[in-house]
Amino acid sequence: MIEYLPWSKKVLDKSIKLQKEGKIPTLDIELTAKCTGACCIYCDSKPNVCMHEQEGEITFSTIKKLILDAKSHDLKWIYTCGLGEPLEDKKFWDMIHLLRANDIKLSMFSNGIFIHDIYMAKELKENNVNIILKMDTFDEDKFDTVLGGKGIAKRIYATRDLLLQAGYGKKSKYTDLAFSIVPTKLSIDGIPEVVNFCKKYGIFASIGELEQAGEVIKNNLKDTLSISPSTVAHLKKIADDYAEGNYMRPICPCIITGLHIDNLGNCVIDEDTGLNCKWFLLKDPRVVKIGNIQQESITSLFERVNLYRKRCFETKSDLIKTLCSVSYTFGGCGGNPKDIIEIGLKWYE
């Protein structure tokens, strides 16, 4: 199975090695809450995600200082996969040009709606932007239902074609393009076609569980969207065939290394584990605010995050094991929670 480079074992192992040496190899940065192109029925970030940026969002000057400070501590990767749409953020292009100048790579989750032409697709490619593109199904009507509006799917399909034309996707071990595929009753019939497309064009098929968070909880959509156990088993066979082995969504290095900075500059972590991703347990986030990058140094925040995490794994190991006692079928936002927890338990044992 081809690996999405930012989630590859190579990048994960290197990031863990640097973290253990006291370096800051990764940053998970939320850029903006603005997301106007779609209104996904299972969005995990509402009501924060809306038609405009939140008051007090961090400026480019803050982002620049954060990146350059982290660069002095061996920063290799930035991940932006939460909250709003990165391409709607006014800081985005300044940021990726800064990253390219400092040999730092970016992985972003995007609905792709604002990649308007081949020139933009090529500029993203030239600036080392790895992309996870939302792509539940090629059934336009059903995808429009997921996205919350007529004609949205067609725009995402156009972006898919532009990215391939620009050179995204590879037929070697690693790829710079992944499709985010969420199995629901709306998408399930079309997933085999999407997976075959991934196989043909060197795209990583990122199949993940439906999160029990955000709009799913608010609108009581679990029964409406969730697929049956027999359907899960059938899809798992398709995924295993694609992987030529046991399929499991890879671990995102930024869950267990570096820092998570939200769009207001807060350094936040999961309350029970001290890990960086707010969504990795596939439920509504419970977070602790460690501090704010606009008032504190990156080294101070990094030390405090590591201390909090160490204390969690040393004093709450039984609770943490219980949280992840069940292994998921496909994994969540950043991999299988059980596998992520096992890394932490070995780290601090």
Question: Distance between CA 206 and CA 294 in Å, rounded?
Answer: 34
**Spatial CA neighbour of 77 closest among 139, 147, 129, 124:** 129
The mean pLDDT of the chain is: 92
**Cβ neighbour number for residue 173 with a 10 Å cutoff:** 11
Question: Distance between CA 330 and CA 336 in Å, rounded?
Answer: 7
User: Crossing angle for the helix pair 298-315 and 337-348, nearest 10 degrees?
Assistant: 90
Above 80 in pLDDT, residue 51?
no
Q: Which region among 41-50, 57-66, 114-123 has the lowest average model confidence (pLDDT)?
A: 41-50
Residues 6+ apart with CB under 8 A from 46: 214, 215, 218
CA–CA–CA angle 110, 284, 287 (5° rounding) = 95
CA–CA–CA angle 43, 273, 232 (5° rounding) = 45
Instruction: Please tell me the predicted confidence (pLDDT) of residue 327.
Output: 67
Question: What tokens appear for 127 in the block?
Answer: 């600036």
Spatial contact of 117 and 162, defined as CB atoms under 8 Å apart: yes
Of 298 and 82, the one with more pLDDT: 298
Instruction: Please tell me the predicted confidence (pLDDT) of residue 302.
Output: 97
Across 48-104, the runs of DSSP E, i.e. the strands, are: 77-80
Domains of the chain, earliest start first: 3-348 (3.20.20.70)
117-128 b/e (C-beta count within 10 Å ≥ 16 → b): eeebbbbbbebb
Above 80 in pLDDT, residue 212?
no
For 79-129, the pLDDT digits (tens) are 998 789 999 999 999 999 999 999 999 999 999 999 999 999 999 999 999
Question: What tokens appear for 95 in the block?
Answer: 């940021």
For 147-194, the pLDDT digits (tens) are 999 999 999 999 999 999 999 998 789 999 999 999 999 999 999 999
Instruction: Please tell me the predicted confidence (pLDDT) of residue 309.
Output: 95
Question: Distance between CA 114 and CA 103 in Å, rounded?
Answer: 25
